Chain A
Amino acid sequence: MWENFAAGSLALFSDPFTIAIFVFGVMGGMLFGAIPGVSMLTLAAILLPFTASLTPAQGVMLFAVIYCTGTYGGAITAILFNIPGAPENAPTAFDGYPMTRQGKSGKAVGAAVLCSAIGGVASALVMMAATEPLANWAIRNIGPPEIFALVFFGLAVASSVGGRSIWKGWMSVLLGLIIATIGQDPVGGINRYNFGFTDLAAGIAFVPAILGFFAVSEIFVQAEKKATGKFDAPKVGMSFPSFLEIWAHRIAVVRSILVGFFCGILPGIGATLAAFMGYGEAVRWSRDKEAFGKGKLEGVISSETANNAATGAAMIPLLALGLPGGALTAMMVAVFQMHDLEPGPLVFYNSPELIWIVFAAMFYANLSILFIGLVETKTILYLLKIPFQFLAPMILLLATIGSYIGRGLVLDVIVMFGAGIIGFLLRRSGYSIPGIVLGIILGKIGEQNFAQGMQMVHYDLLTYFSRPICLILIVAGALTLLAGIYKAVGSSRSTASQ
């Protein structure tokens, strides 16, 4: 492994043009991840045509580096403005933004930098050491029933965080699932809920929906505060977390690495579910559950470690099996195809130099998060000093461009602003925006895998319970769901008896 890694590092750093692409990917991912309104996906969509003029190794490496650094970059806007740069940063905002309100933005961003780097480096090392055996394990043990079970568990976790009650948590998730049914059904390709708009046949693109629900609705919330005289500019806090503070959360870091890696390795699941589950597990195992959502450092640490731990793992099904784990890894498949290559087992034998340049670049990209992130953090925190009336139009326009570029449809911009208004009203009524977004992202994956699983087991649902991983995930999801309902009913009974 180390010889291959050294060879990959040498290939990466011996060519000035490859170095330039690496540096561009690192800076671009961080910048686009950290600009409220656009994300690493916007950058990737813009760059996709240009990768045709690069070598396959340079093209895939560029996207892999953007994936690592962009996942971290999105945490900054989540913490400073309550606008997650990507869905995988949504749980980071739960505690990161309250920390900013309390003047602890430096601690939150510092923890995000450190834990993103730790999660990413750990993931990159495991990826280098065990891509082939892990891919083989996954292909033997993970099928559509397991992926559906994990989606169910993830949605149960998402319903238990955010939302004023368990009911509102579930209603948010179910609304997301219903939105995800718009467009063609994943089995027969039949058009559903297009309401006479032909553009809707392709479904609701999740980038505009995410931007609308997160970025635009947050602008509206701040506008409301300004109009009602309740606007309170966030405080700039420069103190970083100490080594002891991070060390005190070492178990949360290790747990989140494991959760992130497990979620990342499953095709189609990726970093978003990893972040939610990392956060959910942190809440579950904490003795101080009530403090989550009010500015607890462990919330930021768990979410950011888990989502970056998923980045390396998500490359395993992509490179070893040719199965993308999310939108950005799907674009990587397009980069392969532009160069007449197919990701999959043969790549390891036909183009080992490509694989090891990508592995080495991801390792160094995660290290760069640590160094560049810590240097940049103090500058980034000054974003909070920009008056919101000047920041708001910038965010809205970046979101407009971000949602338009993906498919070149004005409808996507309308959908985004519509989602912003709906998100604003739902937030005012205590619903969970991250729950809706996770429902949208996982809806199609869940339906597709449920359908494939049912066909596989000849519509005998009980077979799901004879598969150990599937059984564990379904039971865990059911327990999460029942615990939430029990608490809601118990709370109603105690209020009624009073």
Chain B
Amino acid sequence: MIETGVWLIICIIFFAFSFEFNQPIEIYKFGATGWPRVVLLLLLLATIGNFSYMRIHGSAVQKGRVGIADEDVSDTDYGDFGALLKVTGVLGTPFIFAMLLKPVGFYFATPFFIALIIILFGERRVKWVLGITAMIYAVLLGLFMVVLNAPLPQGNMSPFYDYSALILTLNTQLQQMW
């Protein structure tokens, strides 16, 4: 029921927002809304089909389906609150990292992100956490900043921006040495 409800909400939201761009196109009879609305109608029909299928079979795999990985079939049981917290942490951390990229920048936020992910994945040996964090950070900077000169987010808040500027200045000096 919840799953079907979510899909219906998606259909309703996208249909409602389609009125925002409901403008005719002189050279095309169906306008800008024709295609998305047909797709939404088909999605609605598939949702109804899925609802009726799930009422009979639950979440069982339809006979003859191919290309389904084992982990996409198994139902995970979160035995304790700690496990749920860990998964939520892994899901949330990259998102927070992404939100921080604009103000803090890639160069400053990355080492903290690496260490946090390693810890969330269960590594508790401090030396390993620090060592691997330093190694991954060095490899990424070496490959993308020094070798490929790829532009990465520098941040727009002090002192994070100043840190990025320092790293980039060091890179420029390194390049000039060659």
Do A434 and B25 touch across chains, with their CB atoms under 8 A apart?
A: no
- When distances are taken between beta carbons in the complex, the residues of chain A under 8 Å from B113 are 393, 396-397
Contacting residues, chain B, for A169 (C-beta < 8 A) = 65
Chain A 427-443 against B: per-residue CB contact (8 Å), 1 yes, 0 no?
11110101000000000
Any B CB within 8 A of the CB of A371: no
Given contact pairs A223-B87, A225-B71, A447-B35, A491 touches B30 in the complex (Cβ within 8 A)? no
Closest Cβ–Cβ distance, residue A186 to chain B (whole Å): 9
Q: Mark B1-12, 1 if CB is under 8 A from A, else 0.
A: 001000100100
Known contacts A164-B73, A167-B50, A414-B99; A227 and B64 CB within 8 A of each other:
no
B62 to chain A, nearest CB (A): 4
Q: How far is the CB of B118 from chain A (nearest CB, A)?
A: 5
Contact call A171/B47, Cβ cutoff below 8 A: yes
A451 surroundings in chain B (CB, below 8 A) = 28, 30, 35
Chain A residues within an 8 Å CB radius of B120: 223
Which one of B77-85, B158-166, B167-175 is at the interface? Answer: B77-85
How close is A308's CB to chain B, nearest CB, in angstroms?
20
A contact residues, total (Cβ < 8 Å)? 94
CA gap between A397 and B43 in the complex, in Å: 34
- A355 and B69 CA atoms in complex are apart in Å by 43
In angstroms, Cα B137 to Cα A386, docked, is 17
What residues of chain A lie closer than 8 Å to B139, measured between beta carbons? Answer: 394
Q: Is the CB of A389 within 8 A of B98?
A: no
> Which residues from chain A contact B95 at a C-beta distance below 8 Å?
414, 417-418, 421
The dominant DSSP class at the A interface is helix
Query: A340 interface residue, CB < 8 Å from B?
Result: no
Nearest-neighbor residue (CB-CB) of A451 within chain B: B28
Task: Check A488–B53 contact: CB distance below 8 A.
Answer: yes
- Interface SS of B by simple majority: helix
Q: Are A227 and B83 in contact (CB under 8 A)?
A: yes
- Bound: A374/B49 CA distance, A: 47
Contact residues, B49-75 vs A (CB, 8 A):
49-50, 52-53, 56-57, 59-74
Let me know if A175 and B98 touch, CB within 8 A.
no
Interface string of A466-498 (1 = CB under 8 A from B): 000000000000000000010110011001100
Indicate which residue in B63, B67, B102, B136 contacts A91 across the interface (CB closer than 8 Å).
B67
- CB neighbours (8 Å) of B65 from chain A are 161-166, 169, 293
Which residues of the other chain, B, contact A249 by a CB distance below 8 angstroms? none
B26 to chain A, nearest CB (A): 8
Q: Across the two chains, which residue of chain B brings its CB closest to A193?
A: B17
Contact B63 A171 (CB under 8 A): no
Complex alpha-carbon distance, A387 and B90, angstroms? 17
Chain A residue nearest to B131 (CB atoms) is A390
Q: Contact between A492 and B68 (Cβ–Cβ < 8 Å)?
A: no
Is the pair B86, A223 in contact by a Cβ cutoff of 8 Å? yes
Give the interface size class of chain B. Answer: 35 or more
The interface-forming segment of A310-318, A330-338, A400-408 is A400-408
* Pair A178/B36 contact, Cβ less than 8 Å: yes
- Tell me the A157-215 residues at the B interface (CB within 8 Å): 160-171, 174-175, 177-178, 181, 185, 187-188, 190-193, 195
Contact check, A190 vs B151: say whether CB atoms are below 8 A apart: no
Q: Chain A, 371-407, contact with B by CB distance < 8 Å: what is the 0/1 string?
A: 0000000000000000111101110111011001100
- Report if A116 contacts B (CB, 8 A): no
B30: chain A residues at CB < 8 Å are: 451, 454
Kindly provide the distance from the CB of B104 to the nearest chain A CB, expressed in whole angstroms: 11
Question: Which residues of B have CB within 8 Å of A434?
Answer: 67
User: Is A129 interfacial (CB 8 A cutoff)?
Assistant: no
Known: A191-B21, A228-B79, A390-B118. A396 touches B49 (CB 8 A): no
A405 is contacted by which of B14, B18, B151 (Cβ under 8 Å)? B151
Contact call A410/B61, Cβ cutoff below 8 A: no
**C-alpha gap A46/B62 in the complex (Å):** 44
B176 on the A face (CB < 8 A): no
Across the interface, do A410 and B59 meet the contact criterion of CB distance under 8 Å? no
Are B67 and A293 in contact, with the CB atoms below 8 A?
yes
Q: List 24 A-B contacts (CB under 8 A).
A: A46-B150, A165-B53, A167-B50, A171-B7, A178-B43, A185-B25, A188-B26, A193-B21, A227-B78, A293-B68, A387-B123, A388-B121, A389-B118, A392-B121, A393-B133, A396-B117, A400-B106, A401-B140, A404-B152, A410-B98, A410-B153, A428-B76, A488-B53, A496-B56
The chain B residues found within 8 Å of chain A, CB to CB, are: 3, 7, 10, 14, 17-18, 21, 23, 25-32, 35-36, 39-40, 42-43, 46-47, 49-50, 52-53, 56-57, 59-74, 76-79, 82-84, 86-87, 90-91, 94-95, 97-99, 101-102, 106, 110, 113-114, 117-118, 120-123, 132-133, 136, 139-140, 144, 148, 150-153
